[in-house]
Amino acid sequence: MDFGNADSWGAAIYFWIIPVVLGDAIFPPIPSEMVVITGGALSADGRANVFLVGALSAVASWAGDMVVFQLFKRRLSHVLDRWRWGRKVHHGIHAAIAKAGRSSTYGAIIGARFIPGGRLATSAASGIADVSARGFSLCAGLGAVLWASWLVGLGYFTGSATKLPFWASSLIGVVLGLVIGAAVGIIVTRRRGTRSPVDEPAPGE
């Protein structure tokens, strides 16, 4: 694959979106935002279908949230502790919950995905707090649609406005998204407590 060729990315972006966005549900450092924004930038360049990019991103985001939610709702998180990588992921989940706050309200389920680590933290906290599966699914679905629309729109806007190569537009969109996300994160975390809501012992205890 030629990483500088828009045609190559246009053909491959659909196959990247689902695994990357799904993986981001458990391991936030995976750059799902960059992939979705790139899809928007490619759409502005006529190399991808903006509606398909948005739909795949939303579905993958919802599915990833449901996996994390069910993992903690069914008290299966201890399964992660069987492997070294799983213990690291489990520790990371607890750290994300502590950083993002303890809210598992429906508003947080929808909105927390816009701050770093918020999607993982809220999905896990909601499972631990026994939020109804139907309520979580509906809110996660709405949040996924809003999240996907925001990122695809950001990539499409930067691509249309700058007329730069898709990769440059993607980088500009990512920077804008990070700045806005960091600002929202500062506001939200200042208003929330930082104590983890879990009664579940941290892995290794």
Q: Exposure pattern of 12-41 as b/e (b: 16+ CB <10 Å)?
A: ebeebbbebbbbbbbebebebbbbbbbbbb
What is the pLDDT at residue 194?
42
Q: Average the pLDDT over 8-24 and give the result.
A: 84
- The residues, ordered by sequence, that sit 6+ positions from 197 with a Cβ below 8 Å of its Cβ are 97, 102, 104, 125, 128, 129
Q: Kindly report the average pLDDT of the chain as a whole number.
A: 77
Confidence of residue 8 (pLDDT cuts 50, 70, 90): low
Residue 191 exposed, middle or buried by CB count within 10 Å (0-12, 13-18, 19+)? exposed
What is the pLDDT at residue 74?
81
